[in-house]
């Protein structure tokens, strides 16, 4: 929509951030597979910023390094972007008080590099010919480097190193009149995964990539509209779930016109990311009409059917293995017990201690509950093995606590392939299952036995009879190597000087 009142941005967040981000490890204080990002948007609510902060807080599991909120108050845009947790930054009255207006977009992020630069923290904002425009991105473009290189060649000056900025440049260059047409023209050039939440001075916009890799839901809160990565963010603000933004759909929402749906892409079957169910999404969220908690239990149940085990107790690795362990215990009839206790105070932005202390490793976070473990044959359940670090430490801890046998069961298949859509798995060299078979891994982690859920078992847990190899129902490339989009940058389209810059995902 044309707009003469080009938004003015007040960027008050930037100078206030001295914290050293390179010390922040992933949510468990371990250098492992990293998180994605979470997005939130709201239109038509007088406390848009406070509600966005609440929504982002509920999405904090999707990224803990930084958070940002942009609002518009009928005169100008306001932006706060901070390193650190939502609760530490956006509970302060001076921060929220500054974010005036009834329309907002927010973002929590995890960057894939060791450091986060404040100018990469989203939402990103630009003053376009059509007015102010803010974008929050969950996902990762697989042709971001290629597009960026072309844009730079054509004269664009980039402010950040995130692939999301490409979108702003593409919109800016579009010759179309209305903002939604400009956005669509930009989207047509993107490859990879995206769930976008954007705001203009009078519009909230949501968009999902053509196969819907990353999730995005629509909610209503009285007369207000909400967009969020997961339903848990609707729940926290008391919004009612309306529906998901569908794959390849763009929704524009205005106060006067309500929600309009646009379908700029040819219809394709959706392929949402199966890892949302395995690990990312919060268990109380409903993704694609399925309760994440129930699906995780079913993964555990399928695992019990596929690889039963004579044992005395089922022990989850907390918190990731808990629902699957409940499912495993229910099918096997073996009692579920808390044989590992998690220290709740190892923060999600755990600051790396001295090496000497760090060598104590997993004990900082987990401790064995001897009352359960001693002299028992235990089945240890976790949701996934990435590098094998956690399993190895925990198996050893179980033996130290007196376990007689430690049978490891993993409620997802072997992760053999990297992810380029925002999960940021380590490269294949570091994925233990890309380099060892199950027996070799068993020996490496020191378990009595080891088994993974099969791909078909995973699909059964999702409610399908089996994986359809011709048209897979989910993005499951981590297990199968079957990527849902082209990988232009990876395949050479984006090699060159800029490649090293583009290591950030949304």
Binding positions for ligand AMP, rule: CB under 6 A: 26-27, 32-35, 279, 317, 320, 382-391, 423
CA–CA separation, 164 and 171 (whole Å) = 12
Nearer to ligand AMP, 332 or 391 (CB): 391
Interior angle at CA 505, CA 499 and CA 506, nearest 5: 145
CA atoms within 13 A on the CB side of 233: 34
Q: Pairing between strand 449-452 and 405-410?
A: parallel
Q: What are phi and psi of 12, to 5 degrees?
A: -85, -10
Residue 75's SS3 state is coil
Nearest approach, Cβ of residue 323 and ligand AMP (Å): 12
- Are 438 and 452 in contact, with CB atoms under 8 Å apart? yes
Nearest approach, Cβ of residue 311 and ligand AMP (Å): 20
CA–CA separation, 381 and 326 (whole Å) = 9
Nearest approach, Cβ of residue 351 and ligand AMP (Å): 17
Nearer to ligand AMP, 130 or 384 (CB): 384
Nearer to ligand AMP, 265 or 399 (CB): 399
**How many Cβ atoms are within 10 Å of 444's Cβ, its own excluded?**
16
Q: How many helices (H) and strands (E) does the chain have?
A: 17, 22
Nearest approach, Cβ of residue 63 and ligand AMP (Å): 10
CA–CA separation, 143 and 451 (whole Å) = 36
Fill in the DSSP letter of residue 440: H
Nearest approach, Cβ of residue 346 and ligand AMP (Å): 13
CA–CA separation, 274 and 282 (whole Å) = 13
Nearer to ligand AMP, 316 or 494 (CB): 316
User: What sign does the CA torsion over 453, 457, 462, 466 have?
Assistant: positive
Q: Which residue has the tokens 């371990």?
A: 30
Residue 8 burial by Cβ neighbours in a 10 Å radius (0-12, 13-18, 19+): exposed
Nearer to ligand AMP, 32 or 107 (CB): 32
Q: Which residue has the tokens 């966005």?
A: 52
Residues near 95 by beta carbon (within 8 Å), at least 6 away in sequence: 80, 82, 89
Q: Which residue has the tokens 């480097």?
A: 145
Q: Clarify whether 37 is annotated catalytic.
A: yes
Nearest approach, Cβ of residue 426 and ligand AMP (Å): 8
Q: Is the peptide bond before 192 cis (omega within 30 degrees of 0)?
A: no
Nearest approach, Cβ of residue 156 and ligand AMP (Å): 32
Nearer to ligand AMP, 44 or 323 (CB): 323
Closest CA to 159 of 131, 205, 218, 151: 151
Nearer to ligand AMP, 198 or 450 (CB): 450
Nearest approach, Cβ of residue 407 and ligand AMP (Å): 16
CA–CA separation, 44 and 253 (whole Å) = 10
CA–CA separation, 444 and 391 (whole Å) = 10
Of residues 37, 309, 412, 478, which has the active-site annotation? 37
Fill in the DSSP letter of residue 151: H
Nearer to ligand AMP, 161 or 320 (CB): 320
- Residue spans of alpha helices (H) in 455-497: 455-461, 477-480
Residues labelled catalytic = 37
């Amino acid at each position: 929509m044309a707009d003469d009142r080009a938004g003015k941005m007040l960027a008050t967040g930037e100078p206030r951030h001295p914290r050293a981000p390179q010390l922040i490890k992933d949510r468990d204080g371990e250098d492992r597979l990293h998180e994605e990002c979470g997005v939130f948007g709201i239109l038509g609510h007088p406390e848009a910023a406070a509600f966005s902060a609440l929504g982002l807080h509920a999405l904090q599991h999707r990224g803990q390094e930084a958070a940002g909120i942009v609002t518009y108050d009928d005169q100008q845009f306001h932006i706060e972007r901070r390193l650190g947790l939502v609760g530490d930054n956006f509970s302060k009255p001076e921060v929220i008080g500054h974010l005036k207006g009834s329309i907002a977009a927010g973002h929590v992020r995890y960057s894939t590099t060791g450091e986060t630069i404040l100018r990469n923290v989203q939402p990103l904002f630009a003053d376009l010919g059509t007015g102010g425009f803010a974008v929050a991105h969950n996902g990762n473009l697989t042709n971001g480097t290629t597009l960026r290189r072309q844009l730079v060649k054509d004269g664009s000056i980039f402010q950040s190193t995130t692939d999301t900025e490409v979108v702003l440049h593409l919109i800016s260059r579009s010759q179309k009149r209305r903002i939604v047409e400009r956005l669509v023209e930009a989207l047509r050039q993107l490859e990879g995964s995206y769930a976008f939440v954007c705001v203009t001075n009078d519009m909230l916009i949501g968009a999902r990539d053509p196969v819907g890799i990353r999730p995005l839901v629509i909610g209503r809160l009285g007369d207000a509209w909400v967009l969020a990565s997961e339903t848990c963010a609707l729940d926290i603000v008391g919004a009612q779930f309306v529906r998901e933004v569908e794959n390849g759909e763009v929704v524009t929402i205005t106060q006067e016109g309500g929600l309009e749906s646009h379908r700029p892409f040819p219809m394709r079957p959706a392929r949402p990311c199966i890892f949302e169910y395995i690990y990312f999404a919060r268990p109380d969220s409903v993704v694609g009409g399925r309760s994440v908690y129930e699906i995780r239990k079913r993964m555990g149940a399928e695992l019990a059917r596929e690889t039963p085990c004579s044992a005395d107790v089922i022990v989850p690795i907390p918190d990731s293995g808990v629902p699957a362990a409940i499912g495993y215990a229910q099918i096997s009839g073996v009692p579920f017990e808390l044989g590992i206790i998690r220290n709740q105070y190892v923060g999600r932005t755990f600051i790396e201690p001295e090496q000497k202390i760090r060598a104590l490793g997993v004990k900082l976070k987990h401790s064995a509950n001897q009352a359960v473990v001693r002299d028992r044959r235990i089945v240890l359940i976790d949701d996934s093995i990435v590098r094998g670090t956690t399993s190895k430490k925990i198996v050893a801890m179980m033996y130290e606590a007196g376990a007689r046998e430690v049978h490891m069961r993993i409620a997802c298949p072997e992760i053999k392939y990297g992810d380029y859509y925002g999960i940021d798995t380590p490269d294949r060299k570091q994925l233990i299952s890309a380099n060892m078979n199950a027996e070799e891994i068993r020996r490496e982690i020191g378990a009595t036995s080891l088994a993974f859920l099969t791909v078909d078992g995973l699909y059964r847990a999702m409610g399908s009879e089996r994986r359809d190899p011709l048209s897979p129902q989910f993005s499951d490339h981590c297990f199968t190597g079957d990527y849902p989009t082209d990988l232009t940058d990876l395949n050479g389209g984006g090699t060159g000087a800029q490649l090293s810059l583009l290591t950030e995902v949304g």
